[in-house]
Amino acid sequence: MSSDIEFSQKFEINGGDFSNAGRISTSIKEILKEIGIEPSIIIRASIASYEAEMNIVMYAQRGVLTLSITPEKLHLKLEDEGAGIENIEMAMKEGFSTATDEMREMGFGAGMGLPNIKKNADKFEISSIPNKGTTLDIIFCLNKKEKN
């Protein structure tokens, strides 16, 4: 599987670093533009990346985002160390949130993050161990013909 990877880069995300939150996703967007990924996929991947990055900043101690691109797919993997998610089914519901006021002041924490990620991705997987951490796999297909 990993032998066909064309591009792969890891980014470290610090939990609680609100002033830099979103910076990595901004860089990822630039990278995707440079590689020449199709614009509608860039937007969907950037949105998913941004929401996932915010989640780590808001809820975890630290995390790593790995961007890998093959001719077939763009894969965002986010692994964090933190509180984890007790009830994934609840967390996937729009409007469900455990956010603090600080998070809400940043314009986030409204319980839209995970649903937004899922909506934008072609494939989305989430697993979590409470008090340990959460892993997200967000995949976008690159060889699909664009729908109008």
Partner 1 sequence: MTLKEIKELLQAEVIIGEERLDDEITFAGGSDLMSDVLAFGKPGILLLTGLSNAQSVRTANIIDAKAIVYVRGKKPDKMGIELAREIGIPLLSTKFMMYTACGLLFSHGLPGVSGLAYKK
Residue ranges in contact with partner 1 by CB under 8 A: 19, 21-23, 25-26, 29, 39-40, 43-44, 46-47, 50-51, 105-108, 110, 112-113, 116, 119-120, 122, 147
> Please, what is the Cα angle at 99 between 96 and 104, to 5 degrees?
110
Work out how close the CB of 2 gets to partner 1 at its nearest, in angstroms, rounded to a whole number: 27
Work out how close the CB of 41 gets to partner 1 at its nearest, in angstroms, rounded to a whole number: 9
Which of residues 12 and 129 has its CB atom nearest to partner 1 in the complex? 12
Which of residues 31 and 81 has its CB atom nearest to partner 1 in the complex? 31
> What is the rounded end-to-end Cα distance, in angstroms, of the chain?
31
By CB neighbour count within 10 A (0-12 exposed, 13-18 middle, 19+ buried), where does 47 fall? Answer: middle
DSSP strand pairing (60-69 vs 7-14) = antiparallel
Which of residues 12 and 105 has its CB atom nearest to partner 1 in the complex? 105
